[in-house]
Amino acid sequence: MIGQLYRPIVVQTDHHSAPRFQKVELEVIEEAGYLTVCFLNTKIRPMQVTDVTAIITGAGRGLGLAFTRAILTGGGRVLMTDIDSAAVEAAARVLQQEFPDRVHSQQQDVTDLASFDAAFDAANRAFPSHPVNVLVNNAGIGNTGFYTSDTAWTNVIAINTTAVIRGTQPVVVNIASMAGLYPLKDSPDYSGSKAAVVAFSRAVGMNVNKTNVRVVALCPGFADTQMGQAVLAHAPAVVRGIGGLMTPDFVASALVLRALAEQDNSGQVLVVSKRGVTYHGRKLPAKL
C-alpha cells in the first residue's frame, strides 16, 4: 500500500487501480526542530525523488518530457504516456539508454477513462516493486485563435479539464497554466479549462486530512515548447509580459524541487515564470 510507506503527493498540471486510502489516525512529534508525522505507527518521511514512481501524461515532448527526465535524473521511475504513440516510444527509447529499467512508455488517450486503468496496469508490470505514488496530469492542448470551432472547444475542455478530474486518485500533480489565473482574452477556451483545473485542484487538495492525498496545481507561464512558440508568434507581447519563454528544464525543476519536495502545499497553486517560482495567494503559516 502506498500509504504505508509515506504520505503520497498529488500535483495537478495542466489513476485508478491504485488502492484507495482509509481514514487513519495521525500523530505529530517534534524532534530536534523537525516535525515527524506518524501514520499507522510508521514514521512518514518527506518524499525524495528516489521514492517517486510516476505516471506522466503528455510525456512524448515538451514539458512532459522534461518532467520525465527530471524525475529519472533524481533516481525515480516513470511510465511515460502520450496519445502520440510514436513520439512517446521514441522518447522512451532514448531515455532507456541512460536510465535502463526505470522508464517505460504507453500510448494513452486521456479523454478515455479506461486509459488510466491501462496506464496503472502497465506501470505495475514495469515496476512491480515500486507502486505508483505520483501522477503528473500534463496532457493538454491549446488554441491560439479566438473562439475556434465547436469541435476544438470540446477537445480543449475534454483534455485540459475532464481528463484531469478523471485522473485524480491517490497521487496527482496537475499542470495547469498561468492562463488559469490570468485569462488570455484571445483564448477563452484554454483559459477557462485551465481555471477549472486550478479550482478543482485547490478543492481536492483541501481534503488532504481526510484523503491523505496531497494535491498541487502547477501553473507555468510559457515555456520554449511547440505550444509556447505558437503563442509567442501569435501574441509576443503576452509572452514578454511574463518575462519570456522559460526552458522546459526550469519548469521541471519547480515540479521536483518545490511541488513534490515541499510537504505543506496541498491545495496550493505553484506559479512558475521567469520572474520566479511562488505560491499564488499563499499566506505564510504562523511560526511554531
22 vs 229: CA distance, rounded Å? 45
pLDDT the model gives residue 7: 39
pLDDT at site 10: 46
Q: What is the mean pLDDT of residues 178-182?
A: 86
> Contacts for 190-193 with beta carbons within 8 Å, 24 or more apart?
190/142, 190/143, 190/156, 190/160, 192/157, 193/14, 193/140, 193/156, 193/157, 193/160, 193/161
pLDDT at 46: 58
Q: What is the pLDDT of residue 179?
A: 85
Average pLDDT value for residue range 277-282: 87
C-alpha cell at 158: 475534454
Summarize the confidence of residues 176-197 as an average pLDDT.
85
Query: How far is Cα of residue 124 from the mean position of the Cα atoms in its chain?
Result: 19
Task: Give the DSSP letter string of 23-60.
Answer: P--EEEEEETTEEEEEETTEEEPPPPGGG-EEEETTTT
Using the CB atoms, write b or e for 34-67: b if 16+ within 10 Å: eeebebeeeebeebebebbbbbbbbbbbbbbbbb
CA dihedral 55, 187, 215, 260 (to 10 degrees): 60
**Residues 136, 255 contacting (CB under 8 angstroms):** yes
Q: Which amino acid is at 91?
A: A
| 175 φ, ψ (degrees, to nearest 5) | -90, 110
Residue recorded with cell 483541501: 206
Residues 10/205, Cβ–Cβ less than 8 Å: yes
Going along the chain from its start, the domains and CATH numbers come out as: 2-15+46-277 (3.40.50.720)
Average pLDDT over residues 182-188: 83
Residues with Cβ within 8 Å of 28's Cβ and at least 6 positions away in sequence, in order, are 35, 36, 37, 38
Closest CA to 247 of 212, 279, 273, 213: 273
Q: What is the pLDDT of residues 26-80, one digit of tens each?
A: 333 333 333 333 333 333 345 788 889 899 999 999 999 999 999 999 999 999 9
- C-alpha grid cell, residue 244: 519570456
Chain centre to alpha carbon of residue 57: 9
pLDDT given at position 140: 65
CB-based contact 138:13 (threshold 8 Å): yes
More reliable by pLDDT, 3 or 112:
112
The angle at the Cα of 250, spanning 244 to 251, to the nearest 5 degrees, equals 90
pTM, two decimal places: 0.74
